[in-house]
Amino acid sequence: MTPDAVITAPPGFGADVEAEIVLSRDSFSIRYDMDRETGVISRKGHALEGRSLAGKIVYFPAVQGGVAAGWAFLALVGRGVAPAGVLFGRTNPVMIQGLVLAGIPVMHRVRPDPFSVLQTGDRVRMSPARGIVERLAPR
Amino acid sequence: MKLTDREQRIRGGEAGEPARVAIEQQIAVGDFFGAEAFVPVTNVHMMGDMEVMGDAGFAFIETLVAQGGRFVVPVTTNARCVDFERAASVRQDPALVARERALVAHLRALGALQVDTCINYQTVYQPHFGEHLAWGDTGTVIWANSVTGARTNYEAGPAAVAAGLTGVTPAYGYHLDDQRAGGPRFEVRCALSDYADWGALGGIVGRRTLDYWTVPVLTGMPATPTGDDLKHFGAALASYGSCAMYHMVGVTPEARTDADAFRAREPATSHVVDDAALAAFYRTYPENRPEIDVVVFSGPQLSVLELRRVVELLRGRRAHGNTALIVTTDFANREVARHLGYVKAIEDAGGQVLSGACWYIMEPAKMAAAFGWANVLTNSAKVANIIGGYRLHPILRRTDICIEAAVTGRLPAEGRLA
């Protein structure tokens, strides 16, 4: 099966990782939106409400909120409920500081809009050093 | 990134393992955002408490201490999730309190000044124009960049710890001139008469901006804001919009004129905030029922002048038996407020004046469950924004309405929107 590079981005942080992708139309704040004990999106009305991000590569178009993200990703890793990788449209420093501390791969300014080329549940490989995301299996 | 000789020696381990680990993380973040170099910082403000760190963050700090880590610039601590002297009276988990005590001991061992405040700019350290900092807590960052013209990005807990250990931070974002140019214009045409109004204005601008890298510009300010007005405005703008800086023409130092604020460019977009917009914002926080379970003044911690306002509005009356009244401030202001009789006045009213903590990080969902609270009335737009995520019902109203509700146990007619 020839992998299929569907998303590009500037070089990001972290090692290559393969997982299922979860796409969100809503922005992300780890304090406001997530139950940090379980890694489940808990905010009422969030596009991913009730969904666990554990072990997934997750895409958010934007981020919200404050410095809690700095520690919170490491805490998710400690509890075994962290995402495997994160893709952002626009992000902010605290997300990146927190993901670097936790060792979770991350890229931002992804193109094109992941909704136009992927569906939640697709298996993908993200390669931050090369700035690409590949789809691993046909739909 | 281009490293100086000193930074290369830190990377080579000459300054010890904690500083080496720190600078590697800083290089990864700097590379991610395209920083070309580091910039020295004079002051670090860090957020570190167990509510957000978890066991893994605790272990990270513990390791730094075991390896002999030591901060090389002044590092102050942000408001935390526990008021050690009053934890029992707000029914906080003793295990969390014990863990927090152990964490504080570690942070002190690293050399942190344990001031536990989110208003360090009012009570601990006042940076000057152009000074480079590494501050955490978004409210402190937006104040430093906007009100004083100092320069800092959001530096989350681990990033602030790293800056404390190395004395430098990657020069990207708000350390650079280009990032500080104004983007969208917001013409202010609404009357602003209370801290809650200023917070609501911050919420309105924040909801429309929603981007760390965008600097909103406010024009046509109807009155000279006080420091506390700007505190509520900035804290809300950061909370709702993830913003790290704003310009307020005629008020903030990089915005003496429109041309100053926009760096002679055209505004990216233009908006008007009028009385209808302000009223609409309050309507996003309708009451679920008239009875109020708890009234909270917090987020950010209160200044001495805000504490005075609470006391003046209470006019010696007691809070209603079914309504809790919680105020948070820092150690310094609590001592001044004690001296001025404000602490006694609030306690005589049945309220609590917590210090060193901020209510929204004190595990409010657990506190609410312990006391049977379902709704929360506050004059802080930031608190209202955050606790929605904790499945409590937030109600944002002006300070006088909050106090009347505390005294009568019910929202007064002028505070009812539903």
Tokens of B156: 């989350």
* pLDDT recorded at residue B50: 87
CA dihedral sign of residues A18, A24, A25, A29: negative
* Cα separation, B29 vs B27, whole angstroms: 5
The secondary structure element, H or E, covering residue B280 is helix B275-283
* pLDDT recorded at residue B49: 85
Q: How far apart are the first and last CA of chain B?
A: 55
Q: Which amino acid is residue B320, in one-letter code? A: H
Per-window interface: A 115-134 vs B, CB < 8 A: none
Residue with tokens 């004083």: B148
- The answer to whether A15 and A105 are in contact (CB under 8 A) is yes
Q: Which of A82, A87, A79, A40 lies closest to A63, judged by CA?
A: A87
Q: Which residue of chain A has the CA closest to B45?
A: A67
Are A75 and B54 inside 8 Å of each other by CB?
A: yes
Tokens of A65: 């909120």
* Cα separation, B396 vs B373, whole angstroms: 16
Q: Which of B151, B117, B205 lies closest to B43, judged by CA?
A: B151
3-state secondary structure of A68: coil
Are B59 and A36 inside 8 Å of each other by CB?
A: no
Residue with tokens 């070309």: B36
Catalogue all structural domains in chain A, each as residue range(s) with its CATH number.
4-135 (3.50.30.10)
Query: A6-54: per-residue pLDDT in tens?
Result: 999 999 999 999 999 999 999 998 887 888 889 999 888 999 999 999 9
- Exposure of B331 by Cβ count < 10 A (0-12 exposed, 13-18 middle, 19+ buried)? middle
The runs of H, that is alpha helices, within B48-156 are 50-66, 94-110, 120-123, 138-143
Backbone dihedral angles phi then psi of residue B133, each to the nearest 5 degrees: -130, 165
Identify which of B29, B52, B59 has the shortest CB distance to residue A72.
B52
Is residue B137 within 8 angstroms of chain A, CB to CB? yes
Q: Which amino acid is residue B246, in one-letter code? A: Y
- The answer to whether B320 and B408 are in contact (CB under 8 A) is yes
* pLDDT recorded at residue A139: 56
Are A100 and B53 inside 8 Å of each other by CB?
A: no
Q: A2 to chain B nearest CA, in Å?
A: 29
What is Dmax (Cα atoms) for chain B?
A: 66
- The answer to whether B201 and B193 are in contact (CB under 8 A) is no
Identify which of B32, B212, B386 has the shortest CB distance to residue A12.
B32
Catalogue all structural domains in chain B, each as residue range(s) with its CATH number.
5-175 (3.30.499.10), 181-283 (no CATH), 294-415 (3.30.499.10)
* Cα separation, B174 vs B150, whole angstroms: 9
b/e A37-76 (16+ beta carbons within 10 angstroms → b)? eebbbbbeebbbeebbbbebbbbbbbbbbbbbbbbbbbbb
- The answer to whether B217 and B249 are in contact (CB under 8 A) is yes
Tokens of A110: 């992804």
**Alpha-carbon separation of residue A139 from A17, A55, A56, B175, B397 (angstroms):** 20, 20, 18, 45, 51
Q: Could you tell me whether strands A17-23 and A123-127 are parallel, antiparallel, or unpaired per DSSP bridges? A: antiparallel
* pLDDT recorded at residue B100: 95
- The answer to whether A102 and A77 are in contact (CB under 8 A) is yes
Contacts (Cβ under 8 Å, ≥6 apart) of B172: B30, B33, B34, B35, B153, B179
* Cα separation, B123 vs B394, whole angstroms: 29
β-bridge partners, B134? B44
Are B173 and A93 inside 8 Å of each other by CB?
A: yes
What is Dmax (Cα atoms) for chain A?
A: 42
Q: A79 to chain B nearest CA, in Å?
A: 8
* Cα separation, A89 vs A28, whole angstroms: 11
* pLDDT recorded at residue A3: 63
**Alpha-carbon separation of residue A51 from A38, A42, B277 (angstroms):** 10, 8, 34
Task: Categorize the per-residue pLDDT at A137 as very low, low, confident or very high, splitting at 50, 70 and 90.
Answer: confident
* Cα separation, B340 vs B349, whole angstroms: 16
The secondary structure element, H or E, covering residue A34 is strand A34-35
Are A74 and B29 inside 8 Å of each other by CB?
A: no
Per-window interface: B 178-217 vs A, CB < 8 A: 210-213
Identify which of B33, B56, B238 has the shortest CB distance to residue A66.
B238
Q: Is the pLDDT assigned to residue A56 strictly greater than 80? A: yes
**Alpha-carbon separation of residue B8 from B22, B289, B376 (angstroms):** 13, 61, 51
Q: A138 to chain B nearest CA, in Å?
A: 31
* Cα separation, B299 vs B317, whole angstroms: 24
Q: Mutation test of the interface with chain B: which of A44, A67, A76, A90, choosing the one with the most B Cβ atoms within 10 A?
A: A67
Q: Which of B254, B62, B66 lies closest to B147, judged by CA?
A: B254
Are B389 and A96 inside 8 Å of each other by CB?
A: no
Q: A70 to chain B nearest CA, in Å?
A: 5
The runs of H, that is alpha helices, within B292-408 are 304-314, 331-340, 342-348, 364-371, 381-387, 399-408
Q: A132 to chain B nearest CA, in Å?
A: 15
Ranges under pLDDT 50 in chain B: none
Per-window interface: A 27-56 vs B, CB < 8 A: 27, 29, 31-33, 36, 42-44
- Exposure of A36 by Cβ count < 10 A (0-12 exposed, 13-18 middle, 19+ buried)? buried
* Cα separation, B183 vs B215, whole angstroms: 5
Task: Categorize the per-residue pLDDT at A138 as very low, low, confident or very high, splitting at 50, 70 and 90.
Answer: low
Q: Mutation test of the interface with chain B: which of A31, A90, A101, A107, choosing the one with the most B Cβ atoms within 10 A?
A: A101
Q: Which of A107, A68, A111, A76 lies closest to A91, judged by CA?
A: A107
Mean pLDDT of A112-139: 93
Residues of chain A with Cβ-Cβ distance to B385 below 8 Å are 32
Residues of chain B with Cβ-Cβ distance to A80 below 8 Å are none
* pLDDT recorded at residue A1: 43
Q: Which of B35, B16, B202 lies closest to B110, judged by CA?
A: B16
Are B210 and A62 inside 8 Å of each other by CB?
A: yes
Neighbours of B252 (CB within 10 A): 22
* Cα separation, B405 vs B410, whole angstroms: 5
Kindly report whether the peptide bond that precedes residue A112 is cis, defined as omega within 30 degrees of 0: yes
* pLDDT recorded at residue B58: 95
* Cα separation, A108 vs A138, whole angstroms: 25
